[in-house]
Amino acid sequence: MQEQKKTYIGILFILGSIGFITVIDTAAKYMTASLPPLQVVWGYFFGIFASLCLLAATKGSRLPRLLATRRPLLHIGRAGLLIASISLLFFALKFMTLADATAISFTSPLFITLLAIPILGERVDRARWLAVLGGLCGVLVMVRPGSG
């Protein structure tokens, strides 16, 4: 497959992901207005579990190979962090607007860059730091701290 075609396919997947995340976050904001956030989190992960059951039904005997891993503790830790992340997001949506929560989530490149140094051993050059700081300035413009 051509590199350019792969790039376009990747872009389509990212756009689809953004669309699904938008729907999920909006639904969570709507539901936390009348339901406890923990119940919304439970429903979210129940939906994932149901999807995995459907996958198991369609993949049959190939499922054990699909789930096999050489690093089970790493995967369990990642799953735990995902649960914590989604839970904290849904609890935050109970107390703030979706727009503010989304704007604050745009600070994640800063944290990813900071953690990539000790965890992945990456070297971060000046250009990347400038890009991250530029993005952080954009977040500050959106959130406008102290503006009430």
Asked whether the CA dihedral 109, 115, 117, 121 is positive or negative, the reply is negative
The per-residue pLDDT for 102 is 85
C-alpha to C-alpha distance for 67 and 63, rounded to whole angstroms: 6
Q: For 102-116, what is each residue's pLDDT tens digit?
A: 888 888 888 999 999
Asked whether the CA dihedral 96, 101, 103, 105 is positive or negative, the reply is positive
Q: For 8-48, what is each residue's pLDDT tens digit?
A: 999 999 999 999 999 999 999 999 999 999 999 999 999 99
C-alpha to C-alpha distance for 76 and 55, rounded to whole angstroms: 20
- DSSP structure class, residue 62: G
Q: For 47-100, what is each residue's pLDDT tens digit?
A: 999 998 888 888 777 777 777 889 999 999 999 999 999 999 999 999 998 888
Tell me the pTM.
0.77
